[in-house]
Amino acid sequence: MAPDGDTIPVGLVRHRGGLISYANQRFCEIVGRPREAVVGHTFDAILSPDEHRRIMDRYAQRLRGEPVPSEYEVRVQRASDGAWRVVEVAVQILGDEVIVVVRDVTETAGRRDRRMGLALLGADLAQARSEAAVKSALRERVGRLGLWGAWLVPDGDDRMRVEFADMPDRGAAFESTIGRAVAGWMGPWLPWFRRAWIEGASYHDDAITEVARFVGAPWEAAVRGMAEKSELRRGVALRVDQEGEPVALLVLRGGWLSEDDLPMVRLLAAQLSSALDNARFIDDARRQMLALEALHGLATTALQQAAHAPTELLLRAASVARDALRGDDARVFMLRDARSLQELVAERGEDPPTFPLDDAPLVQDALEASGWSVCDDLRVDLRGFHGGPLAEAVGAALVMAFDSGQGARGVLFVHAPAGRRFSDEDLALMRALMGVLQVGLSNAELYAQAQTRLDELRAAQTRLLERERLAALGEVAAVIAHEVRNPLAVVFNAVSALRRLVPREGTAAELVETVREEAERLNQIVGDLLGFARPVAPSPRAEVLAPIVEGALSVAAARAATNHGGGRVRVALDVPEALPDVRVDARLLRQAMVNVLLNAYEAMPGGGELTVRASHDLARGRVVVAVKDTGVGMRDDVRARMFEPFFTTRPTGTGLGLALVRRIVEAHGGEVNVSSTPGEGTELRFDIPVDDA
């Protein structure tokens, strides 16, 4: 081969007897070896073992006369820098010589591979199962193709916002230069972007200038310099659609892009839009599945536990609604009355304030119309909240009313960011949720009613048993009292005769006095028995309370002074003159109060403080009288039995005083309540009805 083969622009090689007999200068440049390292050597010094084996196989096929392509691509490694080059070879056999023409097509092959990678990218995106996974796969694959990618979304009519941007090997340096992250950057709508938004895709051969204009001063020069170094002059912008509506622009920049790539870019845009739609469909399906699972759990709670914890059911329903509707807040508001609302909270403590229903037209619509109302923007909708805890709320809102067997109970409010549109599927899910709530609340009300009826039945049964027991005790007491009174009369007569016969001083007189005292005590017991056995039949009339209380206090103080030195007890009396009249039998009420006051005196043998206070319970139409002492107090087991007949903790008591007190108070339609702490004292409170007149 003549040396003038060095002037041709392609590599030329002659091969004979398994060795290279000639190689021109261009071939030596392609393989990165001097001529002396090529001529006289085999191809296996230049090729990889796999490539050498493939070529030798084809050579053998050709010698056997089998059809073999005369042109194909081969990868060779440059000896000078170790870089692999893709070459296109054309083989021709002339006798015992093989002539090979070699053309370096590395750049063409690389661009072809990148275009193929761009085509495969769209297919790979279809495998993603969420919107985040689609964008993550997009960012990763774009970087592998040597492209700079940016995802831009409209922010108003004249601005665009960068959601994310990736610059291979230069991103950190660029962000360091501008002093902030690229994500969130705001810039103007460029003509290049508007053309892509309208046409679906657009190519620009000077994307550097366009991006510099988007970034603006004072970073424009820095952007230009870094883009030039990264060979990012060319670019394409493609529109991304979701559910048939444009939502974003994907901007790709790279040195290998050309206008011929627009068909591939349009295909990528369609594949990306389809992948996002599929991901959203899968995400919606997954969200619906989770919402249905949560709804099932809520229904189970409504059927099994709502009767015991309706508040927890409502708050859990709010949480389910917030997650299912992708809202950022959900609250429950209860109707306090026909014209006011109050937020339902989980914390036990001070109740949240109420606010007028007139301040919440959106709630009124839900309560008065079809059970729900929707607002796309609380800032401009006149039905928004004019007061209460949601007065400053912005964004979209959905309000669903819920009720029970007793009518409307409240509303569930779901708040979402501005731009959110609640779909028919959202409303259907909320209707199902409201149905679950209605069942749960109805169960709670039925349970409460059943519990009330059960408590009433138990109380009636207890009263019936108590009356039967008291009736039996009364009969026994009457018989005993009658049988004891006759011998007592004889004893009293005998004591009177003995006092006249025995001297006034001496042992005999003391014994007679002892017999008299014990007979008096026995007579008092008989009197108590008769009083307990006698039915309480009050004759109520309007009375002023103060004289009754003062009279009872005087009697009790006198008896206490006689029995155990009641003068050491300090008495505080507080009965306001403005108290309304009470409808009572003054004699019976005075008797009941005397018994209570005597118990209080006896609980303070060493002295103490006795407080008698009366107050008006306007809501219940009662006057409450409280008698409080600072005595020894009572244990819980004693307090539980203190009204039982014949139960007493004192050696000389009959256990009938407080039992009679309760009978008298209940006969007047009142109640008796006691609180006591051992070592600190006891407070007994009983209420009596106010005179209606």
E-assigned strands of 210-365? 235-242, 245-253, 329-337, 340-343, 354-356
Find out whether 90 and 71 touch, Cβ atoms under 8 Å: yes
| pLDDT given at position 654 | 64
Find out whether 551 and 597 touch, Cβ atoms under 8 Å: no
More confident residue, 373 or 473: 373
- The C-alpha R_g of the chain, in whole angstroms, comes to 51
Q: Where in the chain is the domain with CATH 3.30.450.20?
A: 3-104
- The pTM for the full model equals 0.46
| pLDDT tens per residue across span 235-282 | 899 999 988 889 999 998 877 788 888 888 888 888 888 888 887 777
Here the tokens at position 504 are 């006034």
Torsion angle (degrees, nearest 10) of CA 449, 639, 529, 669? -40
| pLDDT given at position 2 | 47
User: How is the beta sheet containing 372-375 ordered, strand by strand?
Assistant: 354-356, 340-343, 329-337, 407-416, 396-404, 372-375
Three-class SS of residue 423?
A: coil
- Please give the CATH number for the structural domain made up of 305-534: 3.30.450.40
pLDDT band at 531; cut points 50, 70, 90: low
218 cis-preceded (ω within 30 degrees of 0): yes
Find out whether 549 and 593 touch, Cβ atoms under 8 Å: yes
Residue 648 gets which letter from DSSP? Answer: -
The label of the residue with tokens 């193709």 reads: 145
- Residue range 110-284 in CATH 3.30.450.40: yes
Nearest 5°: the CA angle 46, 48, 51 is 105
pLDDT band at 370; cut points 50, 70, 90: low
Please count the other Cβ atoms lying within 10 Å of the Cβ belonging to residue 424.
7
Residue 451 gets which letter from DSSP? Answer: H
CB neighbour burial string for 524-545, b if at least 16 within 10 angstroms, e if fewer = ebbebbbebbeebebebeebeb
Residue 494 has pLDDT above 50, yes or no: yes
The label of the residue with tokens 């009249």 reads: 581
| pLDDT given at position 48 | 76
| pLDDT tens per residue across span 120-177 | 777 778 777 788 888 888 888 887 887 888 899 998 778 999 888 875 555 556 666 6
Average pLDDT of 639-659? 70
| pLDDT given at position 108 | 74
How far is residue 526 from each of residues 476, 482, 531, 532, 538, measured CA to CA in Å? 12, 8, 9, 10, 22
Find out whether 685 and 625 touch, Cβ atoms under 8 Å: yes
Share of the chain above pLDDT 70, in %: 85
Q: In this structure, what are the phi and psi dihedrals at residue 663, rounded to the nearest 5 degrees?
A: -60, -40
Residue 638 has pLDDT above 50, yes or no: yes
Here the tokens at position 645 are 């007949």
Question: Rounded to whole angstroms, how far apart are CA atoms 490 and 110?
Answer: 135
Residue 185 has pLDDT above 50, yes or no: yes
| pLDDT tens per residue across span 403-451 | 876 778 888 888 888 777 787 777 777 787 777 777 777 777 777 778 8
- Residue range 3-104 in CATH 3.30.450.20: yes
3-state SS of 176-229?
HHHCCCCCCCEEECCHHHHHHHHHCEEEECCHHHHHHHHHCCCCHHHHHHHHHH
Question: Rounded to whole angstroms, how far apart are CA atoms 171 and 164?
Answer: 11
| pLDDT given at position 1 | 46
Average pLDDT of 480-487? 73
Q: Where in the chain is the domain with CATH 3.30.450.40?
A: 110-284, 305-534
| pLDDT tens per residue across span 34-70 | 888 888 888 777 777 787 788 778 778 877 878 878 7
| pLDDT given at position 655 | 65
Question: Rounded to whole angstroms, how far apart are CA atoms 646 and 476?
Answer: 13
Determine which helix (DSSP H) or strand (DSSP E) holds 152, and give its type and residue range: strand 148-154
Q: Where in the chain is the domain with CATH 3.30.565.10?
A: 536-689
Please count the other Cβ atoms lying within 10 Å of the Cβ belonging to residue 49.
8
The topology (CATH level 3) of 536-689 is Heat Shock Protein 90 (3.30.565)
